[in-house]
Amino acid sequence: MRQAIILFKDEEAGMLTQHDDGSFTFRYNDTWMVNSKNPSISLTLPKTKQEYHSQYMFPFFYNMLPEGSNKQVVCKYNRIDKSDYFGLLMTTAKNDSIGAVKVSKI
């Protein structure tokens, strides 16, 4: 199992988990849920207390990944398998992301 902290504007919004069977879970933090001014990180992941489960990486996070030659360079330089989407997300989205969401290793 691997986990990453999801940051929204540098504040901890939730936790993304990849389970040993390859499935994924996303859950908002309780502190994020308490403040009504905190938005959901995506329209496809509305703010709720229940966990989101998927057999595949959620499209919101998948779309944060590099593609094409950028993906090849990042994978080669960091020694990441091209099909390790979670590892790639944790490597690239911690500093270099578009928008307010960042991913941080635990």
* Residue entry with tokens 């595949």: 56
**Which two structure tokens, joined as six digits, stand for 103?**
């991913």
- The half-sphere exposure of 21 on its side-chain side, counting CA atoms within 13 A, is 6
pLDDT digits (tens, 9 = 90+) for 13-45: 999 999 999 999 999 999 999 988 999 999 999
Gap between the Cα atoms of 61 and 36, Å rounded: 23
Confidence of residue 92 (pLDDT cuts 50, 70, 90): confident
Q: What is the pLDDT of residue 13?
A: 95
Report pLDDT for 106: 83
Closest CA relative to residue 4, chosen from 96, 99, 94, 100: 94
Check residue 62 and give its pLDDT.
93
Residue 5 in this model has a pLDDT that exceeds 90: yes
Residues 43-59 have pLDDT tens digits of 999 999 999 999 999 99
pLDDT given at position 14: 96
Alpha-carbon gap, residue 67 to 71, rounded angstroms: 5
Per-residue pLDDT tens digits for 61-86? 999 998 999 899 999 989 999 999 99
